[in-house]
Amino acid sequence: MLEAPAIVGIAVIIVLLILLWGRTGAGSEEDVFYDPSDGERQPHKWGYTDTRFEFDGPRSVRVTGSRYPLAGYSMPYFIPFAEEVLGVPITPEGIMPEVEREALPPRRQNDPFEQGIGAVLGTDQVATTDDERLVHSHGQLSVDEIYRLLYLGSLARVVDLVVYPQSEDDVRHLVRLANEHDVCLVPYGGGTNVSGALACPADEERTIVSVDMRRMNQIVELDEQNLQATIEAGINGKELERELEARGYTTGHDPDSVELSTLGGWIATNASGMKKNRYGNIEDIVLEATLVTGIGDVETRHATPRNSTGVAPRVWLFGNEGNFGIITKAVLKVHPIPEAREYGSLVFKSLGDGVRYLKQLRHEGAVPASIRLVNNTEFRFGQALKPAPTFLHGLIDRAKKLFLFKVKRFDPLKMAACTIVMEGTPREVATQRETIFSLASDFGGMSGGASNGRRGYTLTFGIAYIRDFFNQFHIMGETFETSVPWSKIHDVIGAVEKELAQQAQTHSLPSKPYLAYRVTQTYHTGVCIYFTMGFSGKGLQEPDHIYHQVESSLREAILDNGGSLSHHHGIGKIRRSFLPKIQTDASLQLLRETKRSLDPKNVFAIRNGAIDA
Active-site annotation, residues: 530
Q: What is the chain's alpha carbon radius of gyration, rounded to the nearest angstrom?
A: 25
The H or E element spanning position 476 is strand 475-485
Q: Where are the alpha helices (DSSP H) in 376-530?
A: 376-384, 391-401, 426-441, 450-459, 465-471, 489-506
CA distance 129 to 162: 9
Among residues 255, 266, 311, 258, the alpha carbon closest in space to that of 289 is found at 266
Buried b (16+ CB within 10 A) or exposed e, 321-345: bbbbbbbbbbbbbbbeebebebbbb
Q: Is 86 exposed, middle or buried (0-12, 13-18, 19+ CB in 10 A)?
A: buried
CB 399 within 8 A of CB 329: no
Phi, psi at 416, each rounded to 5°? -125, 170
Q: Is 392 exposed, middle or buried (0-12, 13-18, 19+ CB in 10 A)?
A: exposed
Among residues 380, 388, 383, the alpha carbon closest in space to that of 74 is found at 388
The H or E element spanning position 547 is helix 543-560
Which residues are bridge partners to 484 per DSSP? Answer: 527
Phi, psi at 250, each rounded to 5°? -150, 155
The H or E element spanning position 17 is helix 4-20
* The 286-293 sheet, strands edge to edge: 219-223, 228-232, 326-333, 286-293, 296-298
CB 480 within 8 A of CB 555: yes
For residues 261, 263, 269 and 272, what is the CA-based torsion angle, rounded to 10 degrees?
Answer: 80
Give DSSP secondary structure letters for 415-452. Answer: -EEEEEEEEE-HHHHHHHHHHHHHHHHTTT-EE--HHH
CA distance 162 to 159: 7
Q: Is 525 exposed, middle or buried (0-12, 13-18, 19+ CB in 10 A)?
A: exposed
User: Where do the DSSP E strands lie in 315-402?
Assistant: 326-333, 335-336, 340-348, 370-374
Give the end-to-end CA distance of the chain in Å, rounded to a whole number: 75
